[in-house]
Structure 1
């Protein structure tokens, strides 16, 4: 085969093009095309991966993958790249190209000179260069990780993309911080606002489940890009395209609720732990601790208190929520799982336009009249002059003590489970410990609910016009107010009698 007939591919790559202006790629292209002209080779196609790492084997390089497929199809016989590490930093990938050179005569040329993979000397050179490149990357990663760990141990804000509510320096961004605090408050309270409803409110979507206390915010990726463009223009650079506004996702809200930084904890993510599938454990593992095992506090103002953050984590970890197939904990109807069956005392569920007993089908009732009847009773209770007498008082020290005791008793259950798994204790001993601790935890949870319920009611009880505040509240708040004042039981409707009979709705004050 004559030299002039050789078909060549040009591969161009830069790991990180911060300015995304393509100048680095252009410099590589000029050098590679000069090589093709000097050798008289025909460049059949250019393959460009811009801001694509060749070090991380989990990262996709679309142009590289397409080039591999085209070579396998016989589209070219030579590859020109600026340097060998532009082509690959993975020894395994390099071995594939060495096999191609040995078996099919692939020619590989770099701007630093020809890497002849058909000779033992050329292959040794390529392997050594690839190994050196990997070593340099690993040493750099160690230095960076050590610096990040040191920052975290000093309680300094991590570098990188800022979280909602904080500037990169760790300073609080007031209007965002208020939204974050409200997200935690709404999710922490008993029967709290679902993640999907919070995402809907942030997206500006109206609905019964969307809390009115959370304002619409532009999608965070859009806000970050606008801020980056402001910095670029201040440096005399052209702005990059700004993504359009769009809906917030539940996964974004979940990431905010999981983040320990909002409780003032200093955090560090060890890259070696990222393979751990237990994401719930990873969030706790991010918290940096001192030699005594105590969490290190960050040099920034927390947006939520420790108790609220821990309460949110417990609710997120709840197995009944985690195993929900739809991922939604939203209640669409006022009485769903709030009203009880008047026969078996089990929760009532909603279906179509009615309610029915979730167990034995003892009760099936039409929904609208029942809901309006219950709402009117609550309005009458809220209008009474003695409303202030029922306002609960929050005891913060006791709440913290309850939280600590719950964690301690949960730890006892885990230790008992471990001893049973290791065959140190018998099954009956494990059950005895578990049942006793669970009973104590249930009592503590009930006490915590009584102490924190004032925050559950969306400010309705303390409002200047409680009835109006109740009517203006979202569905989740209305349900909590009802649950605070009374227990509602539905009885079967009398046969043959038309219309709504209030006597079939038993409302017992709490």
Structure 2
């Protein structure tokens, strides 16, 4: 038996202004209908600016209403029209089945729904079917219209891109932020570090927030629209194969092609994204400072720099880092550091190093698989692994040198190179140190107390030697 309890469901597919005006009109009309029918409204469920046509779109209020019905909280649904409730035949069929068994009544403000008779339920099914067909036809028209826009060199309509107005004109204030993000990342910055710097500086996103998630930084760095291009993804109707088409845009780019693709290479670079080397790159000199005995790059062991290959040196990090940073700051104050700049980014060298790194990491994975299959002894596995890791570490040093030019260029282009260095993140400092100097750590006999600057040899890339 039907009760006098009713749930009101309100929905609009797109609320462009966000002011809920259409929802409020529906609310007023549905409340008036409830009063007319003498029904008590248990709850009003609202899904504002949410489509009811797409199967993969979750409508939170709708789902909550379904659960409330199953819990027996109401037996009447009031909505402005049936297509506000749903445009998916499967969902409508659920409610019609409940109505057919006398367990539910759907009441619309338009008065077209009559779930108490078979002809009324048939009318609803036909109406929803027609609405569904129109949705599919509309979808095809919109897809074709979008392709035509892209072919004319126009961009996607809808969400505004940081740096551009809705009409595609460059907003210089935001464009400056976009350029800063690209330049900082290319100079050795990290997604986390860039997001932190922008947040700390109180710079606003296009939505007005001063909080910059790393996902927002990555989205900006990977968006082809900044070089006036768009990738459009479609699927083959029969094979469902993914088809990617790239279109050239007619709007002015904010980023040049070489910068954009250099950033993509760095984002995809296994030398950057891998974590096989543990926490090495959380320290200034790991993989950059050299062992003064054998010349191999040192790694970190707790709070110390360590020559892993021969165990020649085991040195406390803090005073060494302070010495190196102090030397670099003094040279920046002399304003002649430009003579020590060794090179600009070498894209060919970088590509070669990335390839070599990938091959070595594949070897390491193969060694691990063979060891797990008992095809390698523990001793031989360890020997092969140490050899490959040593080569990887050497590649990391060369990679840092090959990509360090951008960080130095940014520093030298700043109004105060010293302030730039002082405020730079660890990745940028590592790139600058790697580009401007060679640091070798000498062996210190056991038992000697205190730090002796003479046990750290610093040679600038212009050949000048730093004296203690």
TM-score by length of 2: 0.75
Report the Cα distance in structure 1 between the residues aligned to 2:125 and 2:437, rounded to whole angstroms. Answer: 75
Alignment of 1:206-217 (within 5 A): 216-217=202-203
Aligned length: 417
Report the Cα distance in structure 2 between the residues aligned to 1:139 and 1:115, rounded to whole angstroms. Answer: 25
Q: Which residue of 2 aligns with 1:366?
A: 316
Structure 2 SS opposite 1:183? helix
Deviation at 1:449, TM superposition (A): 6.3
Alignment of 1:92-107 (within 5 A): 92-107=90-105
**Equivalent residues of 1:7, 1:42 under 8 A apart:** yes
**Equivalent residues of 1:336, 1:348 under 8 A apart:** yes
Report the Cα distance in structure 1 between the residues aligned to 2:93 and 2:309, rounded to whole angstroms. Answer: 64
Q: Which residue of 1 aligns with 2:362?
A: none
User: Compared with structure 1, are the counterparts of its residues 157 and 449 closer, same or farther at alpha carbon in structure 2 (3 Å cutoff)?
Assistant: farther
User: Compared with structure 1, are the counterparts of its residues 101 and 83 closer, same or farther at alpha carbon in structure 2 (3 Å cutoff)?
Assistant: same
Alignment of 1:404-443 (within 5 A): none
Match of 2:433 among 461, 472, 482: 482
Report the Cα distance in structure 1 between the residues aligned to 2:35 and 2:413, rounded to whole angstroms. Answer: 81
Answer yes or no: is 1:302 the counterpart of 2:302: no
Report the Cα distance in structure 1 between the residues aligned to 2:253 and 2:329, rounded to whole angstroms. Answer: 37
Report the Cα distance in structure 2 between the residues aligned to 1:178 and 1:385, rounded to whole angstroms. Answer: 27
Q: Which residue of 2 aligns with 1:173?
A: 171
Report the Cα distance in structure 2 between the residues aligned to 1:119 and 1:321, rounded to whole angstroms. Answer: 66
**Equivalent residues of 2:400, 2:431 under 8 A apart:** no
Match of 1:135 among 122, 133, 136: 133
Match of 1:218 among 180, 201, 204: 204
Q: Which residue of 2 aligns with 1:259?
A: 223
Report the Cα distance in structure 2 between the residues aligned to 1:38 and 1:199, rounded to whole angstroms. Answer: 55
Q: Which residue of 1 aligns with 2:211?
A: 247
Report the Cα distance in structure 1 between the residues aligned to 2:40 and 2:302, rounded to whole angstroms. Answer: 70
Alignment of 1:9-28 (within 5 A): 9-28=7-26
Q: 5+ unaligned residues in a row in structure 2: which ranges?
A: 237-241, 360-390, 462-468
Q: Which residue of 2 aligns with 1:349?
A: 300
Task: Name the stretch that deviates more: 382-391 or 100-109.
Answer: 382-391
Deviation at 1:359, TM superposition (A): 6.6
Report the Cα distance in structure 1 between the residues aligned to 2:205 and 2:413, rounded to whole angstroms. Answer: 33
Report the Cα distance in structure 2 between the residues aligned to 1:60 and 1:152, rounded to whole angstroms. Answer: 29
Match of 1:57 among 42, 47, 55: 55
**Equivalent residues of 1:80, 1:110 under 8 A apart:** yes
**Equivalent residues of 1:157, 1:169 under 8 A apart:** no
Q: For the aligned residues, what is the CA RMSD? A: 4.0
Deviation at 1:152, TM superposition (A): 1.7
Q: 5+ unaligned residues in a row in structure 1: which ranges?
A: 205-214, 223-244, 274-280, 289-295, 414-438
Q: Which residue of 2 aligns with 1:436?
A: none
Deviation at 1:392, TM superposition (A): 5.8
Report the Cα distance in structure 2 between the residues aligned to 1:73 and 1:105, rounded to whole angstroms. Answer: 13
Report the Cα distance in structure 2 between the residues aligned to 1:448 and 1:286, rounded to whole angstroms. Answer: 35
Deviation at 1:216, TM superposition (A): 3.9
TM-score by length of 1: 0.69
